[in-house]
Chains A and B, each alone.
Chain A
Amino acid sequence: MTDRALTIDALLGLLTQAAGAAENGGPGAGIADTDFSALGYDSLALLETASLVEQEFDVKVGDDIASSLTPAEFLAHVNDILAGRRPE
């Protein structure tokens, strides 16, 4: 399919672009598994971020990505689609 993948740093950049910087937990090792709610991101922030991902990678990630609980879940969702493991 494609060798492109979304990295945690790229995701944090898109989150910031879409919805502003996280409220807690700066760029540390644990941020991927920190709940979005603890970072101050709600489902609209995730939808907004998802639309930036769609524009950047030219894929459809679907609205259900907004129910991701952590950045790691969000990343897995997107990268499964990019790798062809999950339908667009």
Chain B
Amino acid sequence: VSHAAVSPRRAFITGLGVVAPNGLGASDFWSAALAGRSALGTLTRFDPGSYPARLAGEIRGFEPARYLSGRLLPQTDHMTRLALVASDWALSDAGLDPAALPDYAAGVVTASASGGFDFGHRELEKLWSKGSEFVSAYQSFAWFYAVNTGQISIRHGLRGPSGVVVTDQAGGLDAVAQARRQLRKGLRVVLTGGVDSALCPWGWVAQLAGGQLSQSHDPASGFLPFDTRACGHVPGEGGAILVMTAEPPGGRAPYGEVVGYSATFDPPPGRGRPPGLRRAIEQALADAAVAPGQVDVVFADGAGSRAADRAEAEAITAVFGPLAVPVTVPKTMYGRLYSGGAALDLATALLALRDQVIPPTVNVTSPDPAFRLDLVTGQARPAALRHALVLARGHGGYNSALLLRRSTQDDEERLT
């Protein structure tokens, strides 16, 4: 029995908190994204000279002590500090004071991919070099998948149903979908999205084991999704926290509304069945009762490997037709952010809907013509945008598609 069928409750996004390599805060990030400003470069967090992969999208100039109390610093991984700051900014952007909400009316659902690697790296180093008595008691939770959700919940007193979704790079969409389920069940507000970082030596080795990292040393050609020269992806750090509400905010339009979603899983290799991304797109559109021709832009997953790019292009053209919808990959500017990636794509798509402009895919100068995609390359493209589709895939077969609809002032007035 679908609760949605009987519930008029909706899922508006009313606040954005962005922490990205090419911009701290939604405003700086959006300026950089529209200008096509890339933050990819050689890793500085540690010396990557002895590793096969060296490029990353690092957040520079983030000073956690400016934003977080001394009590929080010893117990938080870098990714959690970023997530906490993003949650502050998202609530502030939404004009929402959590203390004014009834107890248990607001929850937190974030995505995670691998937990707090940097914190864990340092504690493991203490374990083998000094002994177990030197390992921080905070390691018990600082590494954990659910730690961003927990710390955000504690910081803002959000004690409603909460959780974490672990589906690699698809997680940013899956968390938002879980947040929508909680709104439909009666929550008033959910903080959702994802923020990730694994740019320490341990995290780097773990990522290398996945076999998909670009081994290029050139930031301008290291991550080229849909390009004939595609050579893997560059990892980044950061993401976005979004404020979702069941009711539109009073007095102004929300950024937009989540109107469709679906997740599918790829069949095991060698079974001869098609991959699941096309089905995820079709089901997300069906969930929203929106036809392919009504979708105005696609934010692609953009894996950056030839086979995965081809599979995504085939899914997009199968649903929309060849060259029928603008496609963009802003993550070419900052890398793949794992659980933060799709969350940041959602924030980017909402800003695109607001300003009626599609941010560019940078560095891709030889898009494969066989893919038949209308890739927005070079510079931002103004466009009339009402529906934006965000795609995300996670290692191991996760596919997710989420459809956003722009909320106009007219909609808001009709609703309130």
Please give the residue numbers on chain A whose beta carbons come within 8 Å of chain B beta carbons, in ascending order.
16, 18-21, 23, 40-41, 44-45, 47-48, 51, 54-55
Contact = CB atoms under 8 A, between A and B. Distances in A.
A48 B137 contact: yes
B97 interface: no
A19 B73 CA distance: 8
B72 interface: yes
A55 B133 contact: yes
A48 B74 contact: yes
A61 to B, nearest CB: 11
A23 B133 contact: no
Given A44-B75, A48-B74, A20 B137 contact: no
Contacts of B129: none
A20 B73 contact: yes
Given A16-B70, A20-B73, A23-B71, A44 B138 contact: yes
A23 B71 CA distance: 8
B137 A51 contact: yes
Given A51-B133, A54-B133, A55-B133, A20 B138 contact: no
Contact of A48 (B69, B70, B72, B138): B138
B136 interface: yes
Contacts of B69: 20, 23
Given A51-B134, A54-B133, A55-B134, A21 B75 contact: no
A21 to B, nearest CB: 4
A54 B131 CA distance: 13
A75 to B, nearest CB: 20
Contacts of B416: none
A78 B70 CA distance: 25
A19 B133 contact: no
Nearest to B132: A51
Contact of B74 (A20, A23, A40, A47): A20
| Chain B interface size range | 10 to 19
B2 interface: no
Nearest to B140: A44
Contact of A21 (B71, B134, B136, B138): B71
B71 A48 contact: no
A47 B70 contact: no
Closest 7 CB pairs of A and B: A20-B70, A20-B71, A48-B137, A21-B70, A47-B137, A44-B137, A40-B71
A24 B134 CA distance: 28
B257 to A, nearest CB: 39
Contacts of A19: 71, 74-75
A34 B69 CA distance: 20
5 contacts: A20-B72, A21-B71, A23-B71, A44-B137, A44-B140
Interface in B68-100: 69-75
Contacts of B70: 16, 20-21
Contacts of A45: 71
Interface string B133-175: 1101110100000000000000000000000000000000000
Nearest to B71: A20
Nearest to B136: A48
Contacts of A54: 133
Interface string B12-31: 00000000000000000000
Interface string B39-77: 000000000000000000000000000000111111100
